[in-house]
């Protein structure tokens, strides 16, 4: 009977891990898609800026040409009317370019400003100048990396009281951002985990540590709909696992706080369509 219960526990853990891997893959794919879209939008923005500069030169030329025509030609009425029409068309074209540029700049700047505001909020709320806690931004996503020595004992997935103090401050920020998602990633070193009959390897340990943090955040009133549990095992090291110090660096939990990608994707996609249509 004990063997049957153990087998069912392992199957449940593996099923949870597979579901988590699928969610991570979907998020990474979506993040790559919006990054590609942002890159395309940036190229279009630079093209519009170049065209606007060229158009400004054309307007100056038309102004001078219109003035010369009015001063030197006999049929002032006809020529000035033609010049004015050309000038009006050029100014209208410049106005459209300016509008497109403004829309793209707003779409791109809004994402950056939201991300920077979140980083500032996290740093001021966590309020810890600790080398074992790092907050940074990569490709528009906020990462909070916490060394495992602050969270767990070696080989354990029970969250320490010290960790709960830090997580309470993180939870306060996440609770203030109901439109954000919070993914908790567990990372291990490459030392093989000795199976205890429930956890088989570093994959299981990394996922279990992630779910332990998730439960603490949920106890701190973070909406579970915002939370994602993920385990990365030993396969995303920060440094080579060639010393005890380096292995300690690689044993960490990374909390990824990100806006719901669909919001920015839809916003930028809309502006891209507007530019194509005009």
Q: How many domains does the chain have?
A: 1
Looking at the DSSP assignment, which residues form a beta bridge with residue 256? 143, 183
Q: Is residue 176 part of a domain?
A: yes
**Structure tokens given for 207:** 């996922």
Which CATH number goes with the domain that contains 254? 3.30.1330.60
Q: Is residue 169 part of a domain?
A: yes
According to DSSP, residue 259 is labeled: E
pLDDT of 68 higher than 60: yes
Rounded-to-integer distance, Cα 149 and Cα 249, Å: 10
Q: Is residue 57 part of a domain?
A: no
Q: How far apart are the first and last CA of the chain?
A: 70
Q: Is residue 152 part of a domain?
A: yes
Q: CA-based Rg of the chain, rounded to a whole angstrom?
A: 28
Q: Is the pTM higher than 0.85?
A: no
Residue 150 backbone dihedrals phi, psi, to 5 degrees: -85, -15
Q: Is residue 207 part of a domain?
A: yes
Q: What pLDDT, on the 0 to 100 scale, is given for residue 144?
A: 85
Looking at the DSSP assignment, which residues form a beta bridge with residue 233? 187
Q: Is residue 254 part of a domain?
A: yes
Beta-strand ranges (E) seen in the chain are 133-138, 141-147, 180-187, 227-233, 252-259
Q: Is residue 53 part of a domain?
A: no
Question: How much of the chain, in percent, has pLDDT values that exceed 70?
Answer: 60
| pLDDT confidence band for 169 (50 / 70 / 90) | confident
**More confident: 45 or 139:** 45
Domain housing 231:
130-269
Residues 12-60 have pLDDT tens digits of: 444 555 566 676 777 777 767 777 777 777 777 777 778 777 777 777 7
Q: Is residue 41 part of a domain?
A: no
Hey, which of 77-91, 92-106, 120-134, 203-217 has the most confident mean pLDDT? Answer: 203-217
Hey, which of 31-45, 69-83, 145-159 has the most confident mean pLDDT? Answer: 145-159
Residues 90-129 have pLDDT tens digits of: 667 666 666 666 666 655 565 555 555 656 655 565 555 5
Q: What pLDDT, on the 0 to 100 scale, is given for residue 13?
A: 47
């Amino acid at each position: 009977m004990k063997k049957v219960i153990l087998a069912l526990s392992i199957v449940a853990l593996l099923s949870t891990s597979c579901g988590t891997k699928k969610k991570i893959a979907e998020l990474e794919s979506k993040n790559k898609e919006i990054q590609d879209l942002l890159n395309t939008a940036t190229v279009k923005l630079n093209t519009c800026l170049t065209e606007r500069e060229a158009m400004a030169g054309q307007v100056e030329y038309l102004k001078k040409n219109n003035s010369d025509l009015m001063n030197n030609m006999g049929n002032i009425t006809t020529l000035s009317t033609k010049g004015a029409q050309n000038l009006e068309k050029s100014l209208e074209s410049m106005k459209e370019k300016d509008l497109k540029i403004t829309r793209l700049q707003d779409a791109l700047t809004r994402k950056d400003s939201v991300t920077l505001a979140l980083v500032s909020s996290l740093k001021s709320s966590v309020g810890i100048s600790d080398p074992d806690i790092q907050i940074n931004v990569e490709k528009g996503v906020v990462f909070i990396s916490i060394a495992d020595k602050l969270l767990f004992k070696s080989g354990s997935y029970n969250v320490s009281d010290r960790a709960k103090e830090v997580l309470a401050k993180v939870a306060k920020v996440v609770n203030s951002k109901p439109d954000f998602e919070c993914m908790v990633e567990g990372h291990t070193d490459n030392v093989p985990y000795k199976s205890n009959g429930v956890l088989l390897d570093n994959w299981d340990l990394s996922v279990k540590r992630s779910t332990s943090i998730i439960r603490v955040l949920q106890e701190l009133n973070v909406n579970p709909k915002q939370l994602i549990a993920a385990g990365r095992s030993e396969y995303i090291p920060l440094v080579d696992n060639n010393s005890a110090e380096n292995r300690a660096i690689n044993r960490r939990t990374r909390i990824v706080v990100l806006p719901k990608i669909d919001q920015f994707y839809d916003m930028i996609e809309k502006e891209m369509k507007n530019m194509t249509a005009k």
